[in-house]
Structure 1
């Protein structure tokens, strides 16, 4: 089976049929996950030799865009598993076997969560408020809180990071993987949000959670870092995240077109699809959305092909995320305007997409950090002590 065939029309239709119920009841997408796993979707980046599809990032972008159009929260949460497997596959292809266990375990059915975000920590991959305390055998114990941990009910392995401030060469950022069954790991039942409800991205609490030495995969100084792990995480996260929000915009525009043909203007006595203002609104949304596809696939292809963008890599990746989420928000809003007041009722799909798309505002990179990264790429860093 090819990677492109993993999401059949029937599977997407079943996933789509469940999305509204999960949103209404604030429940996790257990059935979606089971069907995606059975189809081999969670092995998307796993090498063929291990039973996976060995997909490229470019292929994954197209698939996640389709999945998000069917069920945004399902696609967003599955992203987190795909990020780790994408990073592991990329490192392995470049001769780094430090995450090969991720590929082997994903092939065996383990589900990986993404335990990176912390409340108030805008350093993201380059700093942490979670304590990472070293042990004599090379393992670490983590104490702290991670927010927005998607797939909280289902992940079995959690990739995370913390700050080692006690070793002789401290401070060091430590990346490691934890097991679900560790007694020092717990998840709060605190996910009751405006949108993306089925993702169940609950707060994860570490209380001395232990990563064994063979699950400690990186240790380096805080701050911006060129380590391939950091680049791999950032590239996969930003590109796959952007594909999800582009998929939301795809579906919103589709619903707007349906509404324009379905609704009739009492003033004009003809379908809204013939109204020049509606036509212009849909055209403007389509023009904005049309620009996202080439950038998404282009950057994914560049990652797959190891194109060297030098100092502009992080700037272009963060710019893609901001452009995708902001464009998606604008497209959904335009679609709501076309559909009219019916989209304001609870249970309407466009109303749900309107709530879901807002989650992009809170996910990295932020608008401010993307502009700062782009400014640094073009102008260089601001010298210490300079006003600004």
Structure 2
């Protein structure tokens, strides 16, 4: 298979050169987004008949690893748009057209944001603290607070969902898109975090913002469901997220290797640290861990593309890939810092930024506890 790419080495070099400044200034990756848009990257997963590049998920998880190696926060921010285009692509390929509007609009240049997370909601997709109030014309008014809304300065379409408790068939979780021009919401300027600062994932306060009937794309019962939308979100979110942290880990390993070759030891007659058995062990241990990630992510992405049926094992495979990627990235960064020495502790060091960025991995769904519960239920069945 010929693997296509939209990200040139020159583009990635420019993005990498801006990453430290975005982090230092706690600024959105405006220039990166403009260049990625010009390169057609935001339409990477959009099929050609909808005006996109028509790349497969397998190809895009590779691209996201390369982008994350250059600038993890930029890759993570773009991820949220790619998730929705990936979900829409997966639904379209399975004969479902309820998200074809996403493909049409993304192909025309619209930017999609992802407003799912809520403080204290560990049900994630299976419950919501946000009120979805039905309107006479078939639309819904949403009232609630969404956190970690990446792409806050740039999205033009935002996915929201909330709980309808009053309709005849209630309760129902209502999924919809709102447009940036719609009244009834506020974006707070509260993204002042340890890492992944350029994502500008500000809190979004929904104050009765209305999604019209044509923007309501799914109503589902609360709790786990076999609806294809849930599979589409999990598959694209978990694999694209895993790709970002895998790319981050790859860059950390690269920096650790360079440091081991550059640093010299007075204790060992000026030889480079790459000759020290302890340093060699740390680099090898990191490389062994890192080497296992990309093949698994690519394999699962190919299975999504090819519509392979893993049945009840799909969700354990997906959450396992996410947890393994994020936890391994933390380990690889830690090893790279140990190899690199005290210079990596300075605020301006790239490894220092990667160390802060990689910590965000533990907060993305599925978190460690949820993932282990999913895998345990798949293998052992529910608790009796």
Specify the TM-score bucket, using the shorter chain as the normaliser: over 0.9
Runs of 4+ in 1 over 6 A off after TM superposition: none
- Match of 1:4, SS state, is coil
Q: Do the aligned partners of 2:164 and 2:174 also contact (CA within 8 Å) in 1?
A: yes
What is aligned with 1:45? 45
Q: CA deviation at 1:181?
A: 1.1
Matches within 5 A, 1:159-198: 159-198=159-198
Q: CA deviation at 1:382?
A: 1.6
Q: Do the aligned partners of 1:40 and 1:52 also contact (CA within 8 Å) in 2?
A: yes
What is aligned with 1:155? 155
Q: CA deviation at 1:132?
A: 0.3
Matches within 5 A, 1:144-293: 144-269=144-269, 270-293=271-294
What is aligned with 2:84? 84
Q: CA deviation at 1:63?
A: 0.1
Q: Do the aligned partners of 1:142 and 1:210 also contact (CA within 8 Å) in 2?
A: yes
Q: Do the aligned partners of 2:5 and 2:59 also contact (CA within 8 Å) in 1?
A: no
Gaps of 5+ in 1: 384-388
Q: CA deviation at 1:168?
A: 1.5
- Match of 1:7, SS state, is coil
1:325 equivalenced with 2:332 (yes/no): no
Task: Report which stretch shifted further, 278-287 or 91-100.
Answer: 91-100
Measured in 1, the distance between the counterparts of 2:124 and 2:304 equals 21
- Match of 1:267, SS state, is coil
- Match of 2:312, SS state, is helix
1:329-377 deviation per Cα after TM superposition (whole angstroms, max 9, x unaligned): 0000000000110111011000000000000011111111111001100
- Match of 1:122, SS state, is coil
Q: CA deviation at 1:138?
A: 1.1
Measured in 2, the distance between the counterparts of 1:179 and 1:126 equals 24
What is aligned with 1:386? none
What is aligned with 1:382? 383
1:122 equivalenced with 2:122 (yes/no): yes
Q: Do the aligned partners of 1:137 and 1:213 also contact (CA within 8 Å) in 2?
A: yes
1:242-265 deviation per Cα after TM superposition (whole angstroms, max 9, x unaligned): 000000000000000100011001
Considering only aligned residues, what root-mean-square deviation do their CA atoms show, in Å? 0.9
1:128-157 deviation per Cα after TM superposition (whole angstroms, max 9, x unaligned): 000000012111000001100001000010
Measured in 1, the distance between the counterparts of 2:75 and 2:166 equals 39
Q: CA deviation at 1:186?
A: 1.5
- Match of 1:208, SS state, is strand
Q: Do the aligned partners of 1:145 and 1:203 also contact (CA within 8 Å) in 2?
A: yes
What is aligned with 2:138? 138
Measured in 2, the distance between the counterparts of 1:339 and 1:353 equals 13
Measured in 2, the distance between the counterparts of 1:265 and 1:70 equals 30
Measured in 2, the distance between the counterparts of 1:12 and 1:329 equals 23
- Gap change, CA 1:3 and 1:36, over 3 Å in 2: farther
Q: CA deviation at 1:53?
A: 1.1
What is aligned with 1:358? 359
Matches within 5 A, 1:54-73: 54-73=54-73
Q: Do the aligned partners of 2:191 and 2:201 also contact (CA within 8 Å) in 1?
A: yes
1:67-95 deviation per Cα after TM superposition (whole angstroms, max 9, x unaligned): 00000000000000000001111111112
Q: Do the aligned partners of 1:4 and 1:63 also contact (CA within 8 Å) in 2?
A: no
Gaps of 5+ in 2: none
What is aligned with 1:335? 336
What is aligned with 2:371? 370
Measured in 2, the distance between the counterparts of 1:328 and 1:245 equals 6
Report the count of equivalent residues.
382
Q: Do the aligned partners of 1:3 and 1:53 also contact (CA within 8 Å) in 2?
A: no
Measured in 2, the distance between the counterparts of 1:316 and 1:136 equals 42
Measured in 1, the distance between the counterparts of 2:41 and 2:3 equals 8
Q: CA deviation at 1:3?
A: 7.5
Q: CA deviation at 1:5?
A: 3.0
Measured in 1, the distance between the counterparts of 2:120 and 2:348 equals 33
Q: Do the aligned partners of 2:51 and 2:104 also contact (CA within 8 Å) in 1?
A: no
Measured in 2, the distance between the counterparts of 1:158 and 1:114 equals 6
Measured in 2, the distance between the counterparts of 1:158 and 1:289 equals 34
Q: CA deviation at 1:50?
A: 2.4
